[in-house]
Amino acid sequence: MGLEITVPNTCIRGCCTSSSIPLHVPPSSYSLLSPIARGAESVVYEGNLDGNKVAVKKPILSTTEDINKFHKELQLLCKLDHPGIATLIAAHAKPPNYLFFFKFYESLNLAQKLHLDEWTPSINHALMIIIQLAKALQYLHNLGILHRDVKPANILLDEKLYPHLTDFGLAEYKNDLKSVSLENWKSSGKPTGGFHKKNMVGTLIYMAPEILRKELHTEKSDVYSFGVTINELLTGVVPYTDLRAEAQAHTVLEMNYTEQQLTAAVVSDELRPVLAAQESGVPSRLLALIQRCWDARPENRPSFDDIIKELDSIIEHRRDVDDRHLRPCKLHDNQVVDGSNNHLQAYQESINWSTLGELFSKRSSNATDSKLRTWHRPFDKPLSHCPTLSWGSYATCGRRETMEDTHFILPSICNEKDIHAFGIFDGHRGAAAAEFSAKAMPGFLQSLGSIGSPATTLVEAFLKTDAAFRDELDSCRKSRRVTQRDWHPGCTAVAALVVRNKLFVANSGDCRTILCRAGSPIALTKDHVASCPEERERVIRDGGQVHWQVDTWRVGLPALQVTRSIGDDDLKPAVTAEPEITETTLSADDEYVVIASDGLWDVMSNKEVISMMKDTVKEAGMCSKRLATEAVERGSKDNITVIVVFLRPVSTAERIY
């Protein structure tokens, strides 16, 4: 269950503290595998921490000053929590091991992606990266922090090619910079050469002229580096390489000398990289923004607040233009199919809903002290039957282009060895609600378990996840991170909770859970769809409208087929998030549970699932995969997610019960 935070959670000096990031990790919990990058000041390894793939940054420490620098970087990193900034998972700050453990970002850094992979992002994807990066820098500047080393090599890309700013090796609080310079002036009358060397930082081609002139770094110096970086993203050209190649071809000058020439040209002649071309589709307002970002005079450059306002407006303008020309056509199953809509999607997805959900999860589980938290135990009598659990899952987007299913597996909640939770979310109108819920609900389950019975815990977790998601969407609309007002993503949800010998299943929507008892299926959920008369009546009672359209009953204008879900805020309260709960006492007859999204059940009956399980190797992951691939073969048109949980000991050698 993740890494423990030992108390007191501080570094050896006591200068770095964190309530959520462990600052001591036992050597047995991690290993360093191969190095991925060797910098002047550190080696970054691919590694493993507590079973998860991580990036381990190991600074090269030779002097006390290096160690001071490590503590400073750690202090800063402990304060940061933003989806556009690389996530520090843990650190070790005790001699002889000084290590940073970061979330592993799969898709290279932006410099490698552009120049080794020769990646050319679409304008919409580039805009998404630019705005996410601007928000990360706005966040830092609001905290009074200057990054001082903004460049493509310090921007890591995750599997979706979303950017995460990293490398705080040169970052400083603005106020500290001021005092350093004042002290220096006082003690020596003028800055010394050593002082300049130490403070003239960042990579030359991204450095603002005032830094090259050896003046103090300000927020506007980060803005300059941002401008050069996003121009590189749009052109795919390393700044000045065209120039430099020429210089090298025509002279035998040392690199150092051409760099001096370059510096002089940037400072005195206002030389800048070649601006991206409007013909390649870059909006002219974006080009103008880049030019303002790299203006020679810091006071003429916009702040990140200004930059974000302008970017929002550029993006909204692009959408308006497209909306007028190309109206997306609505299909029966609520899927909007239209190529022109891709950039809209890219913008909606520029909000990382998983990360937002994770933040909620962290917040809700931090609200109660994990040490004091115990899970509600309704039965302390000795049990007649103790299930032995093993589980596995498989998720596939099937024939769809996008994946809108998510799931979570949460074993040993609050370190209780016999309490486990599993959940599946099936998104519609985008993946946002599903991505958010799969991260947020585990946090709510952990924090709520101590309060009520398992059944009320599940109901509360569903309602809280729904409320949190809709709040978050609202505030995104207010801050204009979501400018499309008629975007109302939702997801169906099913969660199973095993508490010793009891199984609780909560369901909102049309995911399904079955239990195999003595060889026969027992349905533990009922589908909440408008074709079900009771559900239809309930929707109408709660103020919703249902109508027959094409081939079935549907709810409201969006013509939703499901009648309960998380999100879908245009249809609340009629399309409620409140789940129906079943409670089952497990006995020796109970073999396994299958939880799956409707992509499986569309093409397979409960009985067929049971018979397929019969001749599959009894390993939960393999069973899940077999069921899902069979559903694809049978022509399921939907995303498919399957979780199988065995309830009694199984041997993988056993083929048939």
Ligand X SMILES: Nc1ncnc2c1ncn2[C@@H]1O[C@H](COP(=O)(O)OP(=O)(O)OP(=O)(O)O)[C@@H](O)[C@H]1O
Q: Please report, as ranges, the residues that interact with ligand X according to CB under 6 A.
A: 36-37, 39-42, 44, 55, 57, 86, 102-105, 109, 153-154, 156, 166-167, 169
Report how far residue 512's alpha carbon sits from residue 525's, in angstroms, rounded to the nearest whole number.
6
Number of residues that bind Mn ion (CB under 5 A): 3
CB of 14 to ligand X, least distance (A): 25
CB of 241 to ligand X, least distance (A): 18
Annotated active-site residue in 50, 81, 149, 589? 149
Asked if 447 and 417 touch (Cβ cutoff 8 Å), the reply is no
For 396, phi and psi rounded to 5 degrees?
A: -145, 145
Report how far residue 71's alpha carbon sits from residue 13's, in angstroms, rounded to the nearest whole number.
9
**398 binding partner (options Mn ion, ligand X, none; Cβ < 5 to 8 Å by kind):** none
CB of 53 to ligand X, least distance (A): 9
- 278 burial via Cβ count (<10 Å: 0-12, 13-18, 19+): exposed
Residue closer to ligand X (CB basis): 166 or 639: 166
Kindly write out the interface string for residues 208-247 of this chain, putting x where it contacts Mn ion by CB under 5 A and - elsewhere: ----------------------------------------
Taking contact as CB under 5 A, which single stretch among the options 154-162, 469-477, 551-559, 574-582 is the one that binds Mn ion? 154-162
**507 binding partner (options ligand X, Mn ion, none; Cβ < 5 to 8 Å by kind):** none
Residue closer to Mn ion (CB basis): 67 or 271: 67
Report how far residue 575's alpha carbon sits from residue 509's, in angstroms, rounded to the nearest whole number.
9
DSSP codes, 202-213: S-GGG--HHHHT
Residue closer to ligand X (CB basis): 37 or 238: 37
CB of 97 to Mn ion, least distance (A): 20
DSSP codes, 13-70: TS--B-SSS-S---GGGEEEEEEEEE-SSEEEEEEEETTEEEEEEEE---SHHHHHHH
- Interaction between residue 109 and Mn ion (CB under 5 A): no
**86 binding partner (options Mn ion, ligand X, none; Cβ < 5 to 8 Å by kind):** ligand X
Assign 388 to helix, strand or coil.
coil
Report how far residue 203's alpha carbon sits from residue 258's, in angstroms, rounded to the nearest whole number.
15
CB of 103 to ligand X, least distance (A): 6
Tokens of 363: 């917040």
- The residues, any chain, with a CB within 8 Å of residue 340's CB and separated by 6 or more, are 322, 325, 326, 328
- The residues, any chain, with a CB within 8 Å of residue 456's CB and separated by 6 or more, are none
DSSP code, position 401: S
Report how far residue 653's alpha carbon sits from residue 657's, in angstroms, rounded to the nearest whole number.
11
Find the distance separating the first CA and the last CA of the chain, reported in whole Å: 32
Among 167, 232, 404, 568, binds Mn ion (CB under 5 A): 167
**566 binding partner (options Mn ion, ligand X, none; Cβ < 5 to 8 Å by kind):** none
Residue closer to ligand X (CB basis): 45 or 353: 45
Residue closer to ligand X (CB basis): 3 or 493: 3
Residue closer to ligand X (CB basis): 37 or 409: 37
**40 binding partner (options Mn ion, ligand X, none; Cβ < 5 to 8 Å by kind):** ligand X
- Interaction between residue 163 and Mn ion (CB under 5 A): no
Residue closer to Mn ion (CB basis): 169 or 427: 169
Residue closer to Mn ion (CB basis): 84 or 169: 169
Asked if 644 and 626 touch (Cβ cutoff 8 Å), the reply is no
Helix 606-614 to helix 620-633 angle (10° resolution) is 130
Residue with tokens 């599993």: 422
**Residue type (1 letter), 188:** S
CB of 44 to ligand X, least distance (A): 4
| Known active-site residue 474 | no
Residue with tokens 């550029």: 314
Report how far residue 304's alpha carbon sits from residue 287's, in angstroms, rounded to the nearest whole number.
16
**102 binding partner (options ligand X, Mn ion, none; Cβ < 5 to 8 Å by kind):** ligand X
Tokens of 448: 């709520």
Closest to 563 (Cα-Cα) out of 541, 595, 594: 541
CB of 154 to Mn ion, least distance (A): 4
DSSP code, position 344: H
Cα-Cα-Cα-Cα torsion 622, 623, 627, 632, nearest 10 degrees, comes to 0
Report how far residue 421's alpha carbon sits from residue 522's, in angstroms, rounded to the nearest whole number.
19
For 606-637, b/e burial (b = at least 16 CB within 10 A) is beebbebbeebebbbbebbbbbbebbbeeebe
**573 binding partner (options ligand X, Mn ion, none; Cβ < 5 to 8 Å by kind):** none
Among 18, 138, 154, 354, binds Mn ion (CB under 5 A): 154
Residue closer to ligand X (CB basis): 38 or 327: 38
Among 22, 47, 83, 169, binds Mn ion (CB under 5 A): 169
CB of 73 to ligand X, least distance (A): 9
**378 binding partner (options Mn ion, ligand X, none; Cβ < 5 to 8 Å by kind):** none
**100 binding partner (options Mn ion, ligand X, none; Cβ < 5 to 8 Å by kind):** none
CB of 92 to ligand X, least distance (A): 16
Q: Which residues bind Mn ion (CB under 5 A)?
A: 154, 167, 169
- Catalytic sites, residue numbers: 149
